Amino acid sequence: MSRKFGTDGIRGKAGVMLTPELAYRLGLAAAVALSDKGKEKSTILIGKDTRISGDMLESALAAGLVAAGVDVVLLGVIPTPGVAALLRHLHGDAAAVISASHNPYYDNGIKFFARGGYKLPDEVEDQLEALMDDPQAIPRATDGRIGRIHMYPQAIETYAGLLLQQQSPDLQGMKIALDCANGASYQLMPALLRRLGAEVTVCGDRPNGVNINDHCGSTHLAALQKLVLQEKADLGLAFDGDADRLLAIDETGEEVDGDHLLAIIATWLKEQDMLTANRIVVTQMSNMGLKLAMEKIGVEVEDTKVGDRYVLERMLATGAAAGGEQSGHLILSHYNTTGDGPAAALQLLRIIREYKKPLSQLKGIMERLPQVLVNVKVAQKEGWQEKEAIRQAIAAGEADLNGQGRILLRPSGTEPVIRVMAEGRDLALLESVVDRIARAVDASLN
């Protein structure tokens, strides 16, 4: 049986792969694996994004938890980082997030935070899978041991308060455009920035259950770019469906990706003597320009596997204060234990105010080297390394680059695709190399 957990929990098409029956079994399993054995009743929080399937999966997951004797606190629609923050604030034993992040509305997912707000290690996910495979072996609670479900309607306001305790930049006179991806940040971010004094114009703030990430948010920046230019905004901020990612648009309408944002924030942290261990953690997909920019200011860069959980693992192991991904996952350990789009947005705005420079100028801290990425949909991700045609295409590409760049292939942890990436200084050559490898992947795996 294939592993259910990917790089970010269990994810799949709602009602097909991710059914209420599966969510119920997962609730039973989580009640066993994530409970505090020293308590009569543990408490597990549940948050969700705006997908139409969220209510269905929330109900089923909660039913499994209470059936096994756990109390549940429903946070409603709230950004993923807000769930991690409230888990600590409310002293819960664990938390679940029902979201498929940047994926289309018809997908959904369930991921967990352990006590303290950290994502689960592989061995705990393995335990959950084993328990799910034999749900009848999990004893059901009876009598007064059955769990209860409680609502926490002030979840968004509490998370906003926690954010403002950390950072409250004065945004008077700033004009900010927002794209909330019709997702979990649609209530929080406009109100939060207005509270700080900004003039805010918003798109992607009318979720209807099926429009999350639909040509909006951090994966589709065109609408925000148009809004920034139309409103003559100082910058634009784009979140994904569950708001654990942040990308930006500068005042000229140009994209500022996660690598640039991390370079800006890391530079500021170093100047404030807040960059513990004098290092940042990035992934294999991060642009070489980020590493070169950090070398200029004496900051060590460590890379790891793609996935914010792996970035966090290396941050914890090395004591690094900052890490992230090009896609906009930014983990700032001073503020949260996971990628936190709202916290990163406040940090960026604080830096802009303190430096008194526009974002177009600040992003000059890093020169982005040309990078070409193609996602190849495949029928089978496993075993691609063994395909001779793919190996030959990679070898030919490396010969063409002649040491002046790099090639990276990796299967997505959440989608049926192989990502083919090449990086260097000659864009035309990179495009040719990636095209040849992508065609070899398509022919070999479909």
Contact assessment for residue 61 and residue 31, using Cβ atoms and an 8 Å cutoff: no
- In the beta sheet, which residues pair with residue 417? 377
Tell me how far apart the alpha carbons of residues 388 and 289 are, in angstroms, rounded to a whole number: 32
Tell me how far apart the alpha carbons of residues 127 and 125 are, in angstroms, rounded to a whole number: 5
Contact assessment for residue 341 and residue 185, using Cβ atoms and an 8 Å cutoff: yes
216 φ/ψ angles, rounded to the nearest 5 degrees? -155, 170
Closest Cα partner for 75 from 130, 150, 8?
150
Kindly report the length of the chain: 446
Indicate which residues carry an active-site annotation.
101
Tell me how far apart the alpha carbons of residues 363 and 293 are, in angstroms, rounded to a whole number: 11
DSSP letter for 7, please: B
Closest Cα partner for 418 from 388, 386, 387, 374?
374
Instruction: Give 3-state DSSP helix, strand, coil % of the chain, rounded to 5.
Output: 40, 25, 35
Tell me how far apart the alpha carbons of residues 406 and 397 are, in angstroms, rounded to a whole number: 9
Contact assessment for residue 248 and residue 348, using Cβ atoms and an 8 Å cutoff: yes
- H or E segment at 36? none
Write the DSSP string, 351-372: HHHHHT--HHHHGGGSPPPPEE
Closest Cα partner for 246 from 104, 345, 359?
345
